Structure 1
Amino acid sequence: MSDVADPAPHPHPTADEVRAAFDDPKLANVLYHDWEAGTYDEKWSISYDERCISYATDVFNAVAGDTEQPYPTAMELGSGTGFFLLNLMQGGVIKKGSVTDLSPGMVQVALRNAEQLGLDVDGRVADAERIPYPDNSFDLVVGHAVLHHIPDVRAAFGEVLRVLKPGGRFVFAGEPTKIGDFYARRLGQLTWWLTTNVTKLPALRAWRRPQAELDESSRAAALEAVVDLHTFDPSELERTARAAGATGVKAVTEEFAAALAGWPIRTFEAAVPQEKLTVRWRLFAYHLWLRLSAVDRKLLARILPRELFYNVMITGTKPGQ
């Protein structure tokens, strides 16, 4: 592992840096995620309690199946604030963890979250195509909503297999499917337009976020369009992992009804003042998502093609033992 110090977070890019980022997806990822790091957990309703522990472990087990747990060592690729790894650790899936992300701000927040939770975690700023850990370092590599940000996904899979021990497993979740991304983005755009226009009415102005915050969100959304590089067909993603050398590759999908409701809800929450989102509202949104996710698993997954669902998850192993 390199002894070179990680770069510091850069949450306030200049206009010139933002313009340059539109031609450089890696720079865009650093700027966007450094910008979002301090408020990311709030924006996506991320927590480190039973709600997200259950979600993370359920997602992991849904794709990985009945694996021998806990894994002694694990790394999260593109960890963000540590949501997936830290909740898996709390859920007993992992003993010792490492967080990596291209954004120094995200690594900083993830390590702070781990410290507050009392978890054994180290971290590095890392390019997914050049992971700064030696060969055969980890029993498990995980990631959540990261592959679609990486320019060369096959190269990233190759690096994941390199740092895994022989027989080690990877699990990636939360990746957008081609069809799911199409309808989710349009639902989000429509909800944003409706909310930001309806709240201009005098009777609803209390529900309108300050214009400066809306402008900030719009700029962030513009960069978001640059950092989101891929959508995935489940079968193509499986072929990419196999081409990198993985064995036992399997992709599964989730969230159809849950995505149709979830994306408008999340967009609405981003467009209104946070103080308007009461505990009652948050419980309603969470329980609605739970009910619709159950419909997806118990009914729709049996009758709809996997390509229609919003999220694709994939697992595989490194050859050897």
Structure 2
Amino acid sequence: MSTEFFKDTHPELKRLGIEIPELEKRYPTLMRMGISHDDMIYLARRISPLLQDSEKILDLGCGNCLIATLINKITSKKIIVVDQWKEMSMERAIENMEIDKAGLELGKINEEDKLPYPDNTFDTAYSVMFLFNMPKEKRDFLLQEIKRVLKQEGKLIVVDNFIFRGKMKREFSSHNFDQTWYGEENAFSFFVLKNVKKP
């Protein structure tokens, strides 16, 4: 391996054997998410084992796409990423994806917050620091969209600031998501939920 291989690589990625050159320049942190590169690396490592039994995976509100890129590198699973692409352009995301040879497919949440996928498409959807950064009316609609595109018994993983944990639990329950696991780590709430569809 070349001595230049990890020259500009983040120390934690170096430990994982993942090269993302110029990480801080190419993957800017987004105010909407409010988390650091270190947080994104930690969350990618934490979410990855929860995706082992999934084939069709959706990253909802992917932001700068770093978490999805790292999950792809860790698991070798293709990730479909969607956002509104207001803080980071889709063109820049595509450029990063090509540089890093990331197995991502990009999509866009439209102005009505509709997801561009058929019913029952995904085994798992995950969302990091996205859902609770929007007004409740939009969030309610997007949760219905997530239910629509998830398969019956499909998994929803939500990571957000733990100060919202009570509110999140109530809202997920009101949308017929059954909580299968909950944890708090490093000031994040981790919800793992099952999609229960009404007959």
Matches within 5 A, 1:190-205: none
**One-letter amino acid of the structure 1 residue matched with residue 62 of structure 2:** S
From 213, 225, 238, give the equivalent of 2:169.
238
Contact kept? 1:241, 1:249, Cα under 8 Å: no
Matches within 5 A, 1:141-290: 141-152=125-136, 153-173=139-159, 175-178=160-163, 232=164, 234-255=165-186
Instruction: Give per-residue Cα distances to partners, 1:271-293, cap 9 Å, x unaligned.
Output: xxxxxxxxxxxxxxxxxxxxxxx
Q: CA deviation at 1:38?
A: 6.4
Seen in structure 2, the aligned counterparts of structure 1 residues 41 and 245 have a Cα distance that, compared at 3 Å, is same
**One-letter amino acid of the structure 1 residue matched with residue 37 of structure 2:** I
**One-letter amino acid of the structure 2 residue matched with residue 176 of structure 1:** N
From 176, 195, 199, give the equivalent of 1:318.
195
**Counterparts of 2:95 and 2:124 in 1: how far apart (Å)?**
22
Instruction: Give per-residue Cα distances to partners, 1:257-304, cap 9 Å, x unaligned.
Output: xxxxxxxxxxxxxxxxxxxxxxxxxxxxxxxxxxxxxxxxxxxxxxxx
**Counterparts of 1:131 and 1:243 in 2: how far apart (Å)?**
20
**Greater relative contact order (Cα 8 A, min sep 6): structure 1 or 2?**
1
- Name 2:106's counterpart in structure 1: 123
Q: CA deviation at 1:237?
A: 0.8
Q: Is residue 2:81 matched to residue 1:99?
A: yes
Seen in structure 2, the aligned counterparts of structure 1 residues 249 and 238 have a Cα distance that, compared at 3 Å, is farther
Contact kept? 2:71, 2:77, Cα under 8 Å: no
**What is the DSSP-based 3-state SS (H/G/I as helix, E as strand, rest coil) of the residue aligned with 1:40?**
coil
After superposition, the CA RMSD in angstroms is: 3.0
Is the helix fraction higher in 1 or 2?
Answer: 1
**Counterparts of 2:154 and 2:127 in 1: how far apart (Å)?**
15
**Counterparts of 1:244 and 1:60 in 2: how far apart (Å)?**
23
Between the aligned residues of both structures, percent identity stands at 19
**What is the DSSP-based 3-state SS (H/G/I as helix, E as strand, rest coil) of the residue aligned with 1:166?**
strand
**Counterparts of 1:70 and 1:57 in 2: how far apart (Å)?**
16
Normalising by structure 1, we get a TM-score of 0.45
**What is the DSSP-based 3-state SS (H/G/I as helix, E as strand, rest coil) of the residue aligned with 2:77?**
strand
Seen in structure 2, the aligned counterparts of structure 1 residues 42 and 125 have a Cα distance that, compared at 3 Å, is closer
In the alignment, structure 1 segments of 5+ residues that lack a partner are 1-36, 179-231, 256-309
Contact kept? 1:158, 1:245, Cα under 8 Å: no
**Counterparts of 2:73 and 2:85 in 1: how far apart (Å)?**
24
Contact kept? 1:81, 1:107, Cα under 8 Å: no
**What is the DSSP-based 3-state SS (H/G/I as helix, E as strand, rest coil) of the residue aligned with 1:90?**
helix
**One-letter amino acid of the structure 2 residue matched with residue 91 of structure 1:** I
Considering only CA atoms, is the larger Rg found in Structure 1 or Structure 2? 1
Contact kept? 2:26, 2:96, Cα under 8 Å: no
Normalising by structure 2, we get a TM-score of 0.69
Seen in structure 2, the aligned counterparts of structure 1 residues 247 and 39 have a Cα distance that, compared at 3 Å, is closer
**What is the DSSP-based 3-state SS (H/G/I as helix, E as strand, rest coil) of the residue aligned with 1:161?**
helix
Q: Is residue 2:63 matched to residue 1:80?
A: yes
**What is the DSSP-based 3-state SS (H/G/I as helix, E as strand, rest coil) of the residue aligned with 1:139?**
strand
- Name 2:28's counterpart in structure 1: 40
Instruction: Give per-residue Cα distances to partners, 1:106-137, cap 9 Å, x unaligned.
Output: 43333332222222322122158421211111
**Counterparts of 2:150 and 2:103 in 1: how far apart (Å)?**
19
Seen in structure 2, the aligned counterparts of structure 1 residues 156 and 251 have a Cα distance that, compared at 3 Å, is farther
Q: CA deviation at 1:86?
A: 1.7
**One-letter amino acid of the structure 2 residue matched with residue 245 of structure 1:** N
**Counterparts of 1:42 and 1:67 in 2: how far apart (Å)?**
25
In the alignment, structure 2 segments of 5+ residues that lack a partner are 1-24
Q: Is residue 2:39 matched to residue 1:56?
A: no
Is the strand fraction higher in 1 or 2?
Answer: 2
